[in-house]
Every structure is written in C-alpha cells, then in structure tokens.
Amino acid sequence: MYLVRYMAAISSLGLVARRLLNLAVLTVVLAAATAHAGPSFTATVVKVVDGDTIHVRLGGRTEKVRYIGMDTPETHHPTKHEQPGGREATAINCRLVEGKTVRLELDVQERDRYGRLLAYVYVGDVMVNAELVRLGYAQVMTIPPNVAHQSRFVKLQREAREAGRGLWGAAPSGPPVIAGRTSGPSRSGCPST
C-alpha cells in the first residue's frame, strides 16, 4: 500500500528529483536495517557462571545474562555435564569480565525462554561475545531474531578455526594458566587464588 502511494507521489517529479528521493529512501532503509536493534545498559559483573553466562548488578538487582550469538562448552549442565573445553572457555571469560563494569547491548529479543537477559557484552570497546569466538573458545550459535552481529561472528570463527586457536587447536594438557596461576573454576566459576 505504501509503495503504491510512494510510486504515485514520485511520478510527478522530474527524473533527477526521483533519483535523489529514491537514494534518500534507500539510505534511510539501509540505516534502519543496520542500526542497533535495542537499548544498552551499564552493569557490574558479580559472577561468571561459565563461558557464555554471567550475573550482573543492574539497577539494584542481579540479572543473569546469556551472551548472544555464540555458545561455549558446558561446565555444569544437568545432562551434558562438563564438556571438553568448558573450563578453558570459563577461564577466558573470567579474565575478560570478572568484577568489571560492562555495557550490555540488547538485540531484538531481550530474554530467552529461561528468563535470562540476552546481550552483546562489552568491556570498553571489546565485545566479549566476539572475543571469545575470535580466541576460539566459542562457536557461533545464531538464534533469530538476534542476528545483528552474525556475519562478524562467522568470520571470526572461520579465522579461529583456520589458525587452530582455542578449542580448534590441540587438546589442552590441563587447567588453563591464568595470570601466572593454574587452577580450575571456583564456586563462582572463576579460578580461585
């Protein structure tokens, strides 16, 4: 309906004016398609659950946040139990976010079926979701409608796999070394001191 009205309105314009108007409309449509889909919030990480889930302090309450667009091996799943690489992914996530102020950027769907907030998590200018994929400790897992960074994640995963980084490389020989210490996850999911 709108297209018919648009075509009728521009038919009375000259060729140059029609082209300029079409270019303007195309620019607006493309800008809207690539624009950020949801709001963003600042929060403090209070617990790292595993490689793709954290708890944050947000507006006086604690929220469980699931990273969008990627998945890491499980560390304490009721049926999958601990999967190879889960401790390593959790340790990397701890190093990236533990105790830090983060920016949570939402996409189209704000919560999953478990009530977790779905977000792209940033520490400064670094998107943690993308960094875990780039380092090879997460695999792309796109669940529409949250697809804003899908092509970026696919590219980073391909590069990590080709370079043999993280889980794409040789099997780990033991728990990861983090900041000069070797340890498995503590109760909070992060290496204990």
Domain ranges of the chain: 40-169
User: Mean of the pLDDT values across residues 3-8?
Assistant: 47
pLDDT of residue 62: 97
- The residue ranking higher by pLDDT, 92 or 187, is 92
pLDDT of residue 188: 54
pLDDT of residue 192: 59
Q: How much is the mean pLDDT over the chain?
A: 80
Q: Which amino acid is at 98?
A: E
DSSP strand pairing (61-67 vs 117-123):
parallel
User: Mean of the pLDDT values across residues 181-185?
Assistant: 40
- The residue ranking higher by pLDDT, 126 or 25, is 126
pLDDT digits (tens, 9 = 90+) for 70-123: 999 988 777 777 778 899 999 999 999 999 999 999 999 999 999 999 999 999
Asked if the bond preceding 78 is cis, omega within 30° of 0, the reply is no
SS3 assignment, position 3? helix
User: Mean of the pLDDT values across residues 47-76?
Assistant: 95
pLDDT of residue 17: 53
pLDDT of residue 160: 95
CATH class of the domain comprising 40-169: mainly beta
Residues with active-site annotation:
66, 74, 116
pLDDT of residue 13: 60
pLDDT of residue 84: 82
Cβ 30 vs Cβ 99: under 8 Å = no
